[in-house]
């Protein structure tokens, strides 16, 4: 079986070293040494000022919305994982969907500006597949209308744009370090901000709002993560560069087969050092996409319609007109991409796709 992804696992003895120390300390959670070591290591690796490790990417989004005191309407993308929209609704805000750019698959700044009303308080944009949004245009719009900007950077770990981490843009960026991501902590997420005051608020919110054992800074949630999850991150981090290099090599192998066949790929902006977090291809229509998907599944190969359906069709949101997203999401497919994927497996996948396209 070839799934769409598999988690990278470090040598077990390297993880076990961290586990042995955790057992000796008998300190499993509540901002332990591994959590602190991981946060420092991530800030150094990503070259960012402030980062908080939390228990998942969804909580990171919810904390970001709460820390920025957002209310009313938040303009967001219909082309993302469901958590992006669900976090907005969960925090009693209203998602308003702007359409996407047909080249990058990211939220379209022109559509953002067209959706702004007197009730708009923020923009939540996703760096889809780790591809940078048009951050300059979004920043310009945010300043013009005095809006906050949160980037859902769940896919963007390690991507560099205009010479700096993609996580350094906006008021807050949120990460997922779930097992499906190229850097993972089994379950986990992180929050990045340049603003020290916002960081302080987030740090308290992550721990139930505690400000000492008997005082409370304000409302909070249990957003902490454990020593065991942090240990996995510490064991994985030294392999990150090799993981990205392998994914780049595999992506280029896919390209060598498939880009000759009139299949589209999302466009990566210039001045981007990309992380190769996914390998999406776009077919001419939904019928061909589904035909290829079904043929691959017959051979125990499982791509994913990532993202489908459009979030603007969710049953708990107000419907929006997003024709570009509605079209693209029906005919895009993410192919298997992970560290242990072999060249022969990529070749098999590509031959099956090409054969299916002929008939």
Residue spans per domain, the chain: 12-98+106-238, 240-358
**Same fold: 12-98+106-238 with 240-358:** no
H helices of 104-261, where? 109-115, 135-145, 196-206, 227-236, 240-258
Q: Which pLDDT score is estimated for 211?
A: 81
C-beta atoms surrounding 20 within 10 Å: 11
Backbone angles phi, psi at 52, to 5 degrees: -120, 130
Q: Which pLDDT score is estimated for 269?
A: 97
Q: Which pLDDT score is estimated for 215?
A: 77
Q: Which pLDDT score is estimated for 218?
A: 83
* Cα-based angle 299, 305, 306 (whole degrees, multiple of 5): 130
Q: Which pLDDT score is estimated for 213?
A: 77
Pick from 162, 169, 359: nearest CA to 271: 162
Q: State which H helix or E strand residue 353 sits in.
A: helix 343-358
Residue 8 contacts residue 184 (beta carbons within 8 Å) = yes
Angstrom distance (rounded) from CA 148 to CA 74: 9
Q: Which pLDDT score is estimated for 109?
A: 98
- As averages over each run of 10 residues, the pLDDT of the chain (359 residues) reads 98 98 97 97 97 98 98 98 98 98 98 98 98 98 98 98 97 98 98 96 92 81 97 98 98 95 92 98 97 98 97 94 97 98 98 94
C-beta atoms surrounding 294 within 10 Å: 10
> Which CATH number does 240-358 carry?
3.90.1150.10
pTM of the predicted model over 0.85 = yes
Residue 217 contacts residue 197 (beta carbons within 8 Å) = no
Residue 50 contacts residue 192 (beta carbons within 8 Å) = yes
Q: State which H helix or E strand residue 280 sits in.
A: strand 280-282
Q: How many Cα atoms sit within 13 Å of 331 on the Cβ side?
A: 17
- Give the fold, CATH level 3, of 12-98+106-238: 3.40.640
Residue 136 structure tokens: 């300059």
Q: Which pLDDT score is estimated for 319?
A: 87
Q: Which pLDDT score is estimated for 217?
A: 81
Residue 95 contacts residue 76 (beta carbons within 8 Å) = yes
Strand-pair category, 280-282 with 332-334 = antiparallel
Angstrom distance (rounded) from CA 147 to CA 71: 11
Angstrom distance (rounded) from CA 239 to CA 18: 16
């Amino acid at each position: 079986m070839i799934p769409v992804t598999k988690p990278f696992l470090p040598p077990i003895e390297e993880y076990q070293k961290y586990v042995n120390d955790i057992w000796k300390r008998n300190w499993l959670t509540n901002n332990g040494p591994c959590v602190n070591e991981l946060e420092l290591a991530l800030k150094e690796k990503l070259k960012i000022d402030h980062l908080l490790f939390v228990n998942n990417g969804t909580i990171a989004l919810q904390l970001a919305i709460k820390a920025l005191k957002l209310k009313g309407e938040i303009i967001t993308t219909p082309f993302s994982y469901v958590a992006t929209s669900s976090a907005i609704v969960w925090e009693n805000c209203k998602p308003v969907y702007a359409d996407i750019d047909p080249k990058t698959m990211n939220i379209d700044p022109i559509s953002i500006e067209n959706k702004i009303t007197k009730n708009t308080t923020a923009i939540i944009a996703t760096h889809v597949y780790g591809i940078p949004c048009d951050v300059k245009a979004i920043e310009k719009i945010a300043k013009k209308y005095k809006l906050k900007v949160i980037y859902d950077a769940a896919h963007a770990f390690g991507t560099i744009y205009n010479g700096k981490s993609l996580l350094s843009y906006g008021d807050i960026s949120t990460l997922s370090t779930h097992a499906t991501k190229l850097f993972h902590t089994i379950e986990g997420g992180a929050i990045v901000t340049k603003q020290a005051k916002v960081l302080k608020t987030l740090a308290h919110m992550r721990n139930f709002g505690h400000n000492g054992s008997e005082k409370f800074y304000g409302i909070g949630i249990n957003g902490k993560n454990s020593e065991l999850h942090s240990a996995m991150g510490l064991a994985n981090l030294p392999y990150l560069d090799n993981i990205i290099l392998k994914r780049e090599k595999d992506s280029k192998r896919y390209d060598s087969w498939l880009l000759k066949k009139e299949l589209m790929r999302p466009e990566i902006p210039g001045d981007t050092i990309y992380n190769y977090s996914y390998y999406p291809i776009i077919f001419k229509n939904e019928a061909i996409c589904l035909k290829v998907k079904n043929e691959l599944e017959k051979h125990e190969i499982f791509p994913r319609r990532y993202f489908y359906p459009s979030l603007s069709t969710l049953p708990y949101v107000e419907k929006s007109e997003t024709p570009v997203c509605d079209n693209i999401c029906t005919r895009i497919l993410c192919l298997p991409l992970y560290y242990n994927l072999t060249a022969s497996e990529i070749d098999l996948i590509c031959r099956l796709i090409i054969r299916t396209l002929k008939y």
